[in-house]
Amino acid sequence: MAKIQYLKDIDKGYVDVIAWVISSKRINDREIEVTLRDSTDVRTLKLVSDDVKLINEIANLPKESIIRIIGEYRNSVIKLSNISTLIKASEELPVDIYSISPDDVEKFVKYSYIVIRRPKYAKVLKIQQWIMYYAREYLYKQGFVELLPPIISPCSDPGLRGARKLRTMFYSHEYELTSSVIMFKQTAVASLEKIFFVARNVREEPIDNLKTGRHLCEFTQIDIEWAFANMWDVMKLGEELIVYVMEKLYQNHKDVILEFNPEFKIPKKPFKVITYDEAVELLKKYGIETPPGQELTQEGETKLSELMGEEPFWLINFPRTSRGFYYIEDPDKPGYNKDFNLILPKGFGELIDGGEREYRYEGIVKRLQELGEDLRKYEWFLELAKIGIPPSAGWGLGVERFTRYVLGLKYIWEAVPFPKVPGIVPTP
């Protein structure tokens, strides 16, 4: 038997292809026009046969049925030798795959198991794969070692900015689902010095965050940590990785990138830098107040990204009271951390969060107590701090947010195969 082909490979001669039916339009008793899809392409083909039964079989197939077509391809026409139905889909689908809009977020995420079939989102997920590939490629070249991330632990990041951690029982002991791998990153650099995880994180975001279009409750981060590095070292690493990935995407996948985002632009290094205090004062001029000692509001961050132009920029030195226990205070600027966010232009928001780490036992204990945390839950990490944790710096980069930015997608839930979004349940 000849090898089964993909739609993209149909050129001329013998055809043996398996594909999904998107639509069909009967021309006459012996001719039918069929739009098909597979993982490589969407094609509209004219099928002809003297056997009326074959044409009837195709014409009566519901959308999303799977068929196998065998025949000869000449001049955009396949003369059928045989056709067989491998899967006959339901007569009526729960939603119209090709018209469902991401604006209708509840329907979009609840039917994500069907939406994933849509060719548009197949392309998105392929580009996301290449984002991951090129990011890994870059980090490997820089000497970073990739580790497998934990899913549960006795304690996870308490600095979730309004989100809630999720818990599970593990041999009658309460564990938390990973909301951040920060403590594991600081642990691992004592062995390998330059490490990264591709980490899945879970947290229950405030329902209001659905309105931003850029918050997920289950998301992926490229999380790096670098022993003996400072914040400027890892900021440079972050912008070089972003430019490297975007250059590779443009070189190798230009057609798809420009199909989605005709305004795609590779940012120029180095990125601009603005301090938190400078940002707060700038926003005041536009009537936007920032709560004292807290991060910028969503409104403020969006406005700032508009004011800063068409390029990503670094926002540095957040108040100590606004961040997690793992950031170290700047000795030259008491009350502020040696930390940063990378903010994307055009309202796409934060992409990277990071900084220099608190590694001293006394400092970690003090910060955890300020957050009202039970120190017993952090027993293993505090024991490690007594042994000695190397000073380090690192960051986390949101994969879905990067995908959304690169492709110019309207919503973050378009950049993940099975989105979990604030407040909408149940979903796959």
In this structure, are 134 and 68 located in the same domain?
A: no
**How remote is the C-alpha of 178 from its chain's centroid?**
17
Phi, psi of 158 (to 5 degrees): -85, -10
Q: Structure pTM? A: 0.95
In this structure, are 251 and 184 located in the same domain?
A: yes
Q: pLDDT-derived band of residue 3, with 50, 70 and 90 as boundaries?
A: confident
Instruction: Report if residue 266 sits inside a domain.
Output: yes
Provide the pLDDT for residue 76: 85
Q: What is the pLDDT of residues 239-254, one digit of tens each?
A: 999 999 999 999 999 9
In Å, what is the CA distance from 259 to each residue of 44, 99, 342, 377?
19, 19, 26, 49
Provide the pLDDT for residue 1: 46
In this structure, are 113 and 79 located in the same domain?
A: no
The last residue of a domain, from among 87, 121, 156:
87
In this structure, are 34 and 164 located in the same domain?
A: no
Provide the pLDDT for residue 157: 77
Q: What is the pLDDT of residues 135-184, one digit of tens each?
A: 999 999 999 999 999 999 988 876 566 788 899 999 999 999 999 999 99
In this structure, are 70 and 115 located in the same domain?
A: no
Instruction: Report if residue 252 sits inside a domain.
Output: yes
352 vs 342: CA distance, rounded Å: 5
Written in H, E and C, the secondary structure of 17-33 is EEEEEEEEEEEECCEEE
Provide the pLDDT for residue 63: 94
Q: Which of 326, 328, 345, 348 is nearest to 337 (CA)?
A: 328
Q: Which residue has the higher pLDDT, 392 or 76?
A: 392
Identity of the highest mean pLDDT range in 9-23, 221-235, 290-304? 221-235
Q: pLDDT-derived band of residue 61, with 50, 70 and 90 as boundaries?
A: very high
Give the contacts of 63 (CB within 8 A, at least 6 positions apart): 21, 22, 23, 89, 93, 97
Q: What is the pLDDT of residues 72-113, one digit of tens each?
A: 999 889 999 999 999 999 999 999 999 999 999 999 999 999
Instruction: Report if residue 92 sits inside a domain.
Output: no
Query: How does 194-232 read in b/e, with b if 16+ C-beta sit within 10 Å?
Result: bbbbbbebbbbbeeebbebbbbbbbbbbbbbbbbebebe
Phi, psi of 81 (to 5 degrees): -95, -40
**CATH number of residue 327's parent domain:** 3.30.930.10
Provide the pLDDT for residue 160: 62
Instruction: Report if residue 363 sits inside a domain.
Output: yes
In this structure, are 280 and 199 located in the same domain?
A: yes
Phi, psi of 84 (to 5 degrees): -135, 145
In this structure, are 30 and 132 located in the same domain?
A: no
Does the pLDDT value for residue 400 go beyond 50?
yes
Weakest-pLDDT range from 2-11, 323-332, 352-361: 2-11
Q: What is the percent of the chain where pLDDT is above 70?
A: 99
Q: What is the pLDDT of residues 370-385, one digit of tens each?
A: 888 889 989 999 999 9
Does the pLDDT value for residue 288 go beyond 90?
yes
Instruction: Report if residue 99 sits inside a domain.
Output: no
Residue 277, exposed/middle/buried by CB under 10 A (0-12, 13-18, 19+)? middle
Q: What is the percent of the chain where pLDDT is above 90?
A: 89
Pairing of strands 313-316, 167-170: unpaired
Alpha helices by DSSP H, 206-360: 231-260, 276-284, 298-307
CA angle 53/92/33 to nearest 5° reads: 40
Provide the pLDDT for residue 75: 85
268 vs 309: CA distance, rounded Å: 12
Q: Do 311 and 346 contact (CB within 8 A), yes or no? A: no
In this structure, are 221 and 334 located in the same domain?
A: yes
Residue carrying structure tokens 């597979």: 38
Range of the domain at 31: 7-87
Q: What is the pLDDT of residues 301-310, one digit of tens each?
A: 989 998 999 9
**CATH number of residue 52's parent domain:** 2.40.50.140
Both tokens assigned to 253:
């996948």
Instruction: Report if residue 153 sits inside a domain.
Output: yes
Helix 379-387, helix 361-370: angle, nearest 10: 150
* Residue 147: strand pairing partners: 197
Average pLDDT, the chain: 95
257 vs 316: CA distance, rounded Å: 31
Question: Total structural domains in the chain?
Answer: 2
The last residue of a domain, from among 36, 54, 87:
87
In this structure, are 251 and 384 located in the same domain?
A: yes
Average pLDDT (211-228) is: 96
378 vs 376: CA distance, rounded Å: 5
In this structure, are 224 and 300 located in the same domain?
A: yes
Does the pLDDT value for residue 2 go beyond 80?
no
In this structure, are 49 and 193 located in the same domain?
A: no
Instruction: Report if residue 422 sits inside a domain.
Output: no
Instruction: Report if residue 94 sits inside a domain.
Output: no
DSSP notation for 218-248: EEEEEEEEEET--HHHHHHHHHHHHHHHHHH
